[in-house]
Structure 1
């Protein structure tokens, strides 16, 4: 089955699209063949509008409605062109998260992703699985990180080894993958790129969306006083499973914690925020004593961040998802192909216990395509995921 996956993460830098051929054998082996993956950056105007609705901003329902339509229409254009070139039977669309509601006790109560899927169904004639997080929250889970579903099937460790999958998007999340049959642990550790990107945009007057190649961070020195304030965030002490987002780590977050401290140079600020991500990730995974940490996401492009992660994660080896067949920048989009495939076959899309839900549920809502909607018989529970290279002509 050819599935198109569409992802726009908390970095809000654009749409990632992936195409995969998925098949599930009777013995529970799920095979994913990556066929294509592309990035479609948001226009500066669209990105500004999306960032403009994030807390602490106050926006009208007219703004929310307009963005829901604009994201849906841009998504539809990307998917239609992708299907024209690569084909497709089903679409999985994550949408753009604009709010993830977590109460002070750490319970997830709701989540909102914009990007009306009807536009995709109308433009392609294909059924669309969307709103992928809400059912898990209704069942008592965090609704995140759903990457744990892919990670648990894909990186199941051999006896004597333990891997942690690390995604470095706007927010960092991890999946602890132990011996097959053991419960999966997954949670958001805190900020990955969101504070770095916000600082880069502010310091450059909007010219930069990120610290390119970590150049500013490498030219600076970590400010111990600021790092101590940032590490005092109560979120880090909450037990897993837990989730967070830009509702907590807002664009004003760092400025509020700089209050009363001597001013920081741009380079020192970037070095400190890079260290914050590396330290909080390492502290979160250290209790699990992994032998290997497999990283993916946009943060993999930042060599300064990878250097600090490597230093703090030692003796665990730091590799990237490319080592196991999924390009680091495309993994989340391929995740959406997997989750859509599972939902289409009426298979729960969350590993037991990974997000805190008592009972794993089939995820998402389904928008019919142009033809009659005929779901297959429920599939068997997958036991492992094999990523296989496409055949060459």
Structure 2
């Protein structure tokens, strides 16, 4: 079954896509990655998304417009990927409602009807809220994918995704959680100072020096001391948060970025050290930041840092591939959540389905979930 996964994460920079042909035999689910790609948001749309994020005010008229415009952008991305049997679209998270340490709601925009109309394929969407309604955090959903991928690795292993927010899955404990910001604060610093999107290859951070005083203040954030399951996002780590913490120091941009990179490296490394992980499979845009990876390796020297590419999963497309998997699971009537990772009361089948052009036809439900996940070349 060929399933297209579509994902835009907390960097809000564009739409990642991955088409995977899935087949299962003897409990092993095999994926053939046929396509991966990224379609950047048009500048005006990205600016409107950023302007609508908390703590900025917005209104329902803009929410409606964004739901349509993001849905159309996802349809554009899907159309570039060719025919598939099913699409699974994460959409774009605009708000994750966390109150007193509990997630009470979540909102992803990107109306799936636009994707179904454009491609003719049925679309699975709105996946996170099912976990939230069962008492979960709605994140990290990718933990299900991680645990299957890590199943064959020796020793204590984990999976780390470095997007806007960093999340870690610990295989032997069956837990997953957000460790804190990955690129979210770095990107906010670059945007405020230059109008750009990110520090390409960490060049600016490489030219700066870590300010230990600011780093100490940043590490005092209470979120880092909370116990999993837990989740965070730009509801906490937003540009206003950065301005409040960093403005008293008046650092030049390279020094600020070096310090923020150290923050990400240290908050992740603390968790790697705490769980005594021997191998950490890393994905997300942060893999391509050599300054961040170097800092992480130095702060977690006992762990082998392994790009997910080496397991057949392109690091830049892992989350899109994971959502392709979630679509396959939903189509076959299988849950795609791990209660120990999200805090839900039990595993749940995720998402709602928007029919394509023809009658909605799904495969026969499967009784047994896959026990292992492997990827092979085309």
Contact kept in structure 1, 2:180 and 2:267, CA below 8 Å: yes
- 2-structure distance, mates of 1:8, 1:50: 12
- 1-structure distance, mates of 2:68, 2:330: 24
Q: Please show how residues 207-226 of structure 1 align to structure 2 within 5 Å.
A: 208-226=196-214
SS of residue paired to 1:385: strand
Contact kept in structure 2, 1:108 and 1:141, CA below 8 Å: yes
Contact kept in structure 1, 2:338 and 2:346, CA below 8 Å: no
Contact kept in structure 1, 2:115 and 2:123, CA below 8 Å: yes
Instruction: For structure 2, list consecutive stretches of 5 or more residues without a partner in the other structure.
Output: none
Report the Cα offset of residue 157 of structure 1: 4.6
- 1-structure distance, mates of 2:231, 2:225: 12
Q: In the alignment, what sits opposite 1:171?
A: 165
C-alpha change, 1:60 and 1:157, in structure 2 (3 Å) is same
- 1-structure distance, mates of 2:246, 2:321: 38
- 2-structure distance, mates of 1:326, 1:356: 27
Q: In the alignment, what sits opposite 1:60?
A: 59
Q: Of residues 220, 225, 230 in structure 1, which corresponds to 2:218?
A: 230
- 2-structure distance, mates of 1:157, 1:282: 23
Report the Cα offset of residue 258 of structure 1: 2.6
Contact kept in structure 1, 2:41 and 2:73, CA below 8 Å: no
Q: Return structure 1 stretches of 4+ with deviation > 6 angstroms.
A: none
- 1-structure distance, mates of 2:118, 2:30: 28
Report the Cα offset of residue 352 of structure 1: 4.1
SS of residue paired to 1:141: coil
Q: Deviations over 1:177-209 (max 9, x none)?
A: 12xxxx5110000000010001011111x1x21
Report the Cα offset of residue 158 of structure 1: 4.7
SS of residue paired to 2:344: coil
Report the Cα offset of residue 377 of structure 1: 2.4
Q: Deviations over 1:139-198 (max 9, x none)?
A: 111111111111101111556x011100000000011112xxxx5110000000010001
- CA RMSD in angstroms, aligned pairs only: 1.1
Matched pairs, number = 377
Q: Please show how residues 83-122 of structure 1 align to structure 2 within 5 Å.
A: 83=82, 87-104=83-100, 106-122=101-117
Instruction: For structure 1, list consecutive stretches of 5 or more residues without a partner in the other structure.
Output: none
Q: Please show how residues 110-259 of structure 1 align to structure 2 within 5 Å.
A: 110-158=105-153, 161-178=155-172, 183-204=173-194, 206=195, 208-259=196-247
Contact kept in structure 1, 2:152 and 2:372, CA below 8 Å: no
Q: Deviations over 1:234-283 (max 9, x none)?
A: 11111011101100001111111135x33211111011000000000111
TM-score (norm 2): 0.97
Report the Cα offset of residue 346 of structure 1: 0.8
SS of residue paired to 1:353: helix
Q: Deviations over 1:81-138 (max 9, x none)?
A: 312xxx200000000001111112x211111001000001111111100001000011
SS of residue paired to 2:203: helix
